[in-house]
Structure 1
Amino acid sequence: MKPDTTAPLTFGMLVFDEVEVLDLGGPFEVFSTAGRLARTAADEPLLRVLTVAPTVRTVRARGGLTIVADHTLDEDPPFDVLVIPGGVTTAVERDEKVVDWLARRRRTSALTFSICTGAFLLAATGALDNRPATTHWEDQEELARRWPDVRLCTDVRWVDDGDIVTSAGISAGIDASLHVVARLFGEQLARRTARQMEYLWTDTRA
């Protein structure tokens, strides 16, 4: 996928109660920083991020951090890239409205990116059946047990399988986010973003 330099790409990120703070904040920082560093021909950020919550805009992340989302599922805002952070996903896995929305938006997105146990939500849609994926090392056994058709990859920071990228846990999501930036907009922007963040980018999957 080549970026359109006349219009920004929008990243739509699901947020929910008990979302892992760094699963959310790490990728958000990468994408928003890249957006500040790169502009379109119309001098807009080349990429921007919006957040979407299941029913009400205010959610409480792990550790008690309160987040006010930009939209709810019912508002169903347009975006180009679907981002699914992890955390305690038990409740949202059981929410048919969330799972159906993720399944639909995955099909209409140019790229879907899950972080950590966000892979559980993606697996619940059936999108990972017979495809390689990863998640936090602590949750890999459960992912394999619950969704045996997923081709689990271990000891990697992320897995890029074309239209789906999955990352290992928490801080690995930052490395994978920089990979997404490099893939969509070029390695130079990814490295500028990492430098701006003063982050030592692990730019290999292993």
Structure 2
Amino acid sequence: MPGAALMDVYGPLEVLYLVTGRFHINLKIISPDGKNVKLTPPLGNQFNSTFAPEYVASASFDDDIDLDVLIVPGGAAARDTSLTYVDNYLVKMYPKLDYLISICTGAIFPARAGLYDGRRVTTNKNAWKLVTAHGNNVTWVAPARYVIDGNIWSSSGVSAGVDLMLHWVKEWYGEAIFNTIRIGGEHIVHGQDDDPFTDELGVPHQGQL
């Protein structure tokens, strides 16, 4: 989607990329129209930087594809209220999925679509009020590095998506490949409750892991 944050996308994908050395995985990078998406520079690009990596799309929202896992990144797009077509796409795809994973402010889309109703989830503490204003009967959890509720997985801000993905790999593919990735990438893996940003950013404690 337009404005997706770089690490929200490629942090989790780096983890999965390393899994492909041991297991077969197919990747689809999906954009609304199937066209490549250029990253939006932060803060309105007030310094006129030319620093906008591009995501190479391999599918569109109209394509009839089967997915096991759908990862929804956050970023500037979370603040764009016109992107209701993202919500609609998630509603269409969710019944096919084994897992729906949101990274950072990407939680706003499934929340707005009603997919988080009755669920425990978390999001970026720096955008807490923005994201948690959406959804009905959602248990927003803070502090939390990431939250697991059945097939709904959600991470806190940006780098937390890597911790979530490492945990998912450990659960799905096993301890051996998890340790290979952890050691090979020199990851200091954070647990679900390792979240100092809740207090640093003044987010009230709520919900439970």
TM-score range, shorter chain: 0.7 to 0.9
Shift of 1:142: 2.2
TM-score normalized with structure 2 length = 0.81
Provide the C-alpha distance between the structure 2 equivalents of 1:198 and 1:168, rounded to a whole number of angstroms.
Answer: 21
Please tell me whether Structure 1 or Structure 2 has the larger radius of gyration of its CA atoms. Answer: 2
Shift of 1:203: 3.8
Q: Percent of aligned pairs with the same residue?
A: 27
> Do the aligned residues in 2 keep the contact of 1:31 with 1:49 (CA within 8 Å)?
no
> Do the aligned residues in 2 keep the contact of 1:80 with 1:110 (CA within 8 Å)?
yes
- Number of the residue aligned with 2:111: 123
Provide the C-alpha distance between the structure 1 equivalents of 2:181 and 2:12, rounded to a whole number of angstroms.
Answer: 12
Secondary structure, counterpart of 1:140 in structure 2:
helix
Q: 141, 152, 175: which is aligned to 1:187?
A: 175
- Number of the residue aligned with 2:5: 20
1:65-80 maps to which residues of 2 (within 5 A)? Answer: 65-80=53-68
The C-alpha deviation readout for 1:63-96, integer Å capped at 9, x for no partner, is 3211111111112322211111111224765334
1:1-206 maps to which residues of 2 (within 5 A)? Answer: 16-36=1-21, 38-39=22-23, 45=24, 47-63=25-41, 64-90=52-78, 93-147=81-135, 149-206=137-194
Shift of 1:180: 1.0
- What is the number of equivalent residue pairs in this alignment? 184
> Do the aligned residues in 1 keep the contact of 2:114 with 2:136 (CA within 8 Å)?
no
Provide the C-alpha distance between the structure 1 equivalents of 2:184 and 2:59, rounded to a whole number of angstroms.
Answer: 29
Shift of 1:183: 1.5
Provide the C-alpha distance between the structure 1 equivalents of 2:78 and 2:160, rounded to a whole number of angstroms.
Answer: 21
Q: Residues 202, 48 of structure 1: CA spacing in aligned structure 2 closer, same or farther, 3 A cutoff?
A: farther
Shift of 1:148: 5.3
Structure 2: give runs of 5+ residues left out of the alignment.
42-51, 195-209
AA partner of residue 170 (structure 2)? A
The alignment yields a C-alpha RMSD, in angstroms, of 1.8
> Do the aligned residues in 1 keep the contact of 2:66 with 2:96 (CA within 8 Å)?
no
> Do the aligned residues in 1 keep the contact of 2:4 with 2:39 (CA within 8 Å)?
yes
Q: Residues 146, 101 of structure 1: CA spacing in aligned structure 2 closer, same or farther, 3 A cutoff?
A: closer
AA partner of residue 118 (structure 1)? G
Provide the C-alpha distance between the structure 2 equivalents of 1:173 and 1:93, rounded to a whole number of angstroms.
Answer: 23
Answer 1 or 2: which has greater strand percent: 1
> Do the aligned residues in 2 keep the contact of 1:93 with 1:121 (CA within 8 Å)?
no
> Do the aligned residues in 1 keep the contact of 2:108 with 2:132 (CA within 8 Å)?
no
AA partner of residue 154 (structure 1)? A
Shift of 1:130: 2.0
Q: Residues 19, 82 of structure 1: CA spacing in aligned structure 2 closer, same or farther, 3 A cutoff?
A: same
